[in-house]
Each structure stands twice: as structure tokens, then as C-alpha cells.
Structure 1
Amino acid sequence: MSDHHPRLAVVTGADSGIGRAVAQLLATEGYDVGLTRHEDAEGVARTVEEVERRGQRAFVEDFDASDPEAGDVVDRLVDRLGGLGVLVNVAGTGHSSRVMDLTLETWRHVLATDLDGPFLTSQHAARHLVAAGRGGRIVNVTSVHEYLPRLGAAAYCAAKAGLGALTKVLALELGEHRITVNSVAPGEIATEMTGMETQEAYHQDRPGNPLGRPGHVNEVAALVAFLASPSSAYVTGSTLTVDGGLGLMAAHGHDQAGSGWREV
């Protein structure tokens, strides 16, 4: 059956980095985009400007992924967009603390932000997509730490692994409705979160990575756009990794020379 979901997308965490790049590329592909912001009003305003410059509509709602009512943001944006075809979960957080020093408060905050939030937004999006009966797409941006451990990131790794498993269960349950669900797992990407300017991606040496550099946000967005497109209609329950081959290497600790691992 052909793919007829509307070109209407919700992108969480669109105030910077990967989320902004995804919103820009989807707008270039003809999508109107609902955006969420957490604290960076100036950042999301720049994303709105980029979307509108591409001739598409943009709407913004405040969003705290750790809030028990986080899924409601999807309902609000769907109302403003007039429908939904694609949900992209990008919003997330990390931490840097060994298990013996990791507080339950930090553990719960990271799990709530990186797992509860995407669960709730996916649940609300699925309800809209099923009710509309036109198929659709859910894309969860996880991390190579969905399947590779990292020193000092127990909660982050557990949340990303959980989101990877949730992605597969959603794919099983929603397939009959022609809704595909996949995850994109970036390696080290040049973003504000990793302490790099976007354009630095091509100018940083990473000897521990087969391609020898960090990734660019557009290289992640391109994969998300593929998963949102009719070309990916037979891809579901998959994790597509975009890490420059990092997963081919031994699981370095981030303090080892040349590993170049940082939070993604």
C-alpha cells in the first residue's frame, strides 16, 4: 500500500543541533513543522526563521520531556498544524557521573527526559496517526550508546537502550496501521551539546574513529528525512547508525587518548 501520510511533522528539541537540522531539512522537503523548546527561546526562534524561509509554516510549544504531561505537546502542535504525519523525538539530556556517585535524582531525571518523554510523545502521536488512518512515521534519535556502553553515563545508556527497545515494540504494534517506527543512533556529532560549533565537524581530528572526524548535524538529519520519506516505507523497527564507523572500534572509555567520545 502506498504512503500517503501528510507533510506535517513534530520535532522535539528543535531549538539547536540535530533538532534544528531535522526541522530545516523537513521544511526543505515540504513539511510544515511543529517545534518544541525547553529553555532556549532565541534558539527556537532561529529554527522558526529557517523553516519559514523555506516557505513552510512553523509552530512552537514549550516542552519539558521529563514532565508527566509531556505528551500533551503533541496534541497542541497537531491542533495547530491541522494533522500529523511524522514525529521526530530529538530532545534529551545526559550526565557524567560514575555509578557509585550517581544519585537517584539524576538517574530519574535522565530516564524521565530521555525515555519517559519519547514514550509519551510517541503514544500521543500514535493515537493521532491511527485515528487519521493515513499511516505515518515515528523516528527516535537515540545514540550509539543505545548499544555501546560509556563510562560515566549509566543513566544515559540505560535510557537510550530502553528507547531502542521501545522503538521495536512500537514498530510491532503500529505496523498494521502503516506507521513505521525506527531509531537513528548518532555517534559524536558537532553540536552545542558536545561543545563544538556545527562547522567544526570537518576540522576536528578523531584518530579513534574510522572516518577520523565528528559528524555534522546534516548527516544525521539526512537519515531522519529518509525515514520520514516514502522511500523508507518498508523499513521499521530498525536502528540506523550514523557514527563514522565508531561502533566498529573497541568501546573506548571517553578519557582514553584518541577516543574522542563525548555526550551525543
Structure 2
Amino acid sequence: MTTTPSAPVAVVTGADSGIGRATAVRLARLGMDVGITWHTDRAGAEETAAEVAKEGRRAETEHLDLTGPPAAADVVDRLADRLGGIDALVNNAGTGTATPFTEIAPDTLRHVLDVDLIGPFLCGQRAARRMIAQGRGGRIINVTSVHEHQPKVGAAPYCAAKGGLGLLTQVMALELAEHGILVNSVAPGEIATPMTGQEDTDVRTEPRPGVPLGRPGDAREVAEVIAFLAGDTGSYVTGASWTVDGGMTRMGPMAGSGLRDDSWRRV
């Protein structure tokens, strides 16, 4: 016999700021209790929890260091135990590099792969096992990047990890569909977050000539797509990559982030 918690439960990794925080708050608004993980910013995670509480939902926080697999994935089980189950996992925690390929140290390579690929693999595995045991399906959303699809100079480990996570998403979608578990990736472009040095920036004041929409994205715009995939409205969507980039990938991320004027818009 299966049991149902008083509210659906989501776990969002790296929810102490940026896309993770916006997602946690948006899922709370959707009616979900939220498990929040943080790596270095405990105060940020507590601020996110307070925002979730303002939406009338429960929040629990846990420290997560994805460079310590496989035990790091225990956080999924701990949060699920405290919140009464798990219905959605958002693998959002991530890291990157800005180093030429020939200069990347093995330790740096391993660090990025652990955080951006192996960690989401293991957290997704834990969540899927619990969802199967619960017997009511679920959602797993892997936050990748436009670099799931296209390369960037200086980001070899990041691109390798995000590209791998994108294909892993497709395998997960195929294998977990029979259990009613839908798996998708969300691939942001340049989003105004602490990771890009633009926390609390009004994106409308930041010109990006190389991006068709002419500006960076707001974390809440990414959260809206994640909420669609995590909720009932995304019930026939699985195995897809949802790019949220203002059209950047149509230009190519190298061009989209590097062009300095609008001359490309005219013949």
C-alpha cells in the first residue's frame, strides 16, 4: 500500500541563491513542501527556507557537498524522510571553470565532474528509487546549460559534464517512464545570478547585443519552466531539453556572449 504526504515534496539542490532559490520559491507557490540544499552559504539556504515558509509551505535544509560521492546523495533520503516523501527532484547545484584545456589539472576535472555529473546521477538514482517505492510517479529535472548542446572555450570539464548530464537525462527518461517518472533537462543561457556576478541585477538594464532578446535571463524565468515540468501541466513531457536562453543557442553561445553590437541583425 502506498501513502501520500499532506503535500507533494520537492528537493532542490543548490537552492541557497540564484536559480535554485527562485525554483524553491516557485515550487512552494505550486503547493509543494521543499527540501533545500546548500554547499557554502547556509545563511542563504535559511533565507530561501524563509521565503518558502511565506508561501505557506514547509521547508527543510541540508548541507550537500557533491565532491564526496556516493555518500553525498544521502541528502535526498534525509530530506525525503523529514518531509514525508519525494515527488520532484531538481538537480540544480553546479560549478564550472574558465581554464584552457591544456592547463586543466586532474583534480579540477574530477571536481567539476563530481558536482555537475556524478552528483546529479547519484541524487537522481536515490530519488528514483524512492519514487518507485512510493508508487505515485514523480519528476526529475536536471539543470544543465546551453553548454549541454554547444561548446565554450575554457569550459572543457563543464561542457563535458553538462553534455553528459543531458544524455543521462534521456536514458533516465526511457528507463523510468514505466514508473510514471518524467525526466527532463532545463538548459539556461546567461542568467543573472551570483554565479555570473549579477545577483539582484535588473536584467532589463544589461544589454547583450549578441542575444536575440538583448538581455540576460532572470532566475525566475528559469524557475517557471522548471515549475511547468514539475507540475501537472507537464504530464506528457519526458526526455526533452528545455533551453531557456533568450535565443542564445540560435546564435551559438560563443557568439551570443561575445558580440558587442547589433550589426548581425541587419543584412
**TM-score tier after normalising by the smaller chain length:** over 0.9
Secondary structure, aligned partner of 1:88: strand
Q: Which runs of 5+ in 1 are unaligned?
A: 260-264
Q: How does 1:111-260 map to 2 (within 5 A)?
A: 111-252=113-254, 256-258=258-260
Question: Distance in 2 between the 1:165 and 1:187 partners?
Answer: 18
The residue number in structure 2 matching 1:88 is 90
Displacement of 1:203 in angstroms is 1.1
Task: Please say if residues 7 and 84 of structure 1, whose CA atoms lie closer than 8 Å, have aligned partners that are also in contact.
Answer: yes
Separation in structure 2 between the aligned mates of residue 55 and residue 61 of structure 1, nearest angstrom:
20
SS at match of 2:217: coil
- Name the CA distance, whole Å, in 2 between partners of 1:27 and 1:51: 6
Q: CA deviation at 1:253?
A: 6.1
1:34/1:58 contact within 8 Å kept: yes
1:52-131 aligned within 5 A: 52-68=53-69, 69-131=71-133
Check the 8 A contact 1:10/1:86 in 2, yes or no. yes
Runs of at least 5 residues in structure 2 that lack an aligned partner in the other structure: 262-267
Separation in structure 2 between the aligned mates of residue 155 and residue 121 of structure 1, nearest angstrom: 20
Q: 1:189 to 1:132 in 2, by over 3 A?
A: same
- Conserved? CA contact 2:8–2:32, under 8 Å: yes
- Structure 1 residue 65 displacement after superposition: 1.4
The one-letter amino acid paired with 2:26 is L
Counting aligned pairs with the same residue, the percent is 56
Change in CA separation of 1:51 and 1:193 when aligned onto 2, cut-off 3 Å: same
Q: Report the AA paired with residue 204 of structure 1.
A: E
3-state SS of 1:15 partner: coil
Please say if residues 211 and 256 of structure 2, whose CA atoms lie closer than 8 Å, have aligned partners that are also in contact.
Answer: no
State how far apart, in whole Å, the 2-side matches of 1:58 and 1:211 are: 35
Q: SS at 1:36's partner residue? A: strand
How far 1:250 moved relative to its partner? Answer: 3.5
2:264 corresponds to which residue?
none
So what's the TM-score if we normalise by structure 1?
Answer: 0.94
Tell me, what secondary structure is at the counterpart of 2:16? coil
CA shift at 1:231, angstroms? 1.1
- For residues 258 and 66 of structure 1, what CA distance do their matches in structure 2 show? 37
**What letter matches 1:127 in structure 2?**
R
- RMSD across aligned positions (CA): 1.5
- What whole-Å deviation, never above 9, does each CA across 1:96-136 have from its counterpart, x for those lacking one? 10101111110110001100110010000000000001010
Distance in structure 2 (CA, Å) of the matches to 1:254 and 1:150: 11
Alpha-carbon displacement from aligned partner over 1:125-155 (angstroms, at most 9, x marks no partner): 0000000010100000000000110000000
Paired with 1:135 and 1:30, the residues of 2 have a C-alpha distance of 17
Number of equivalenced pairs: 256
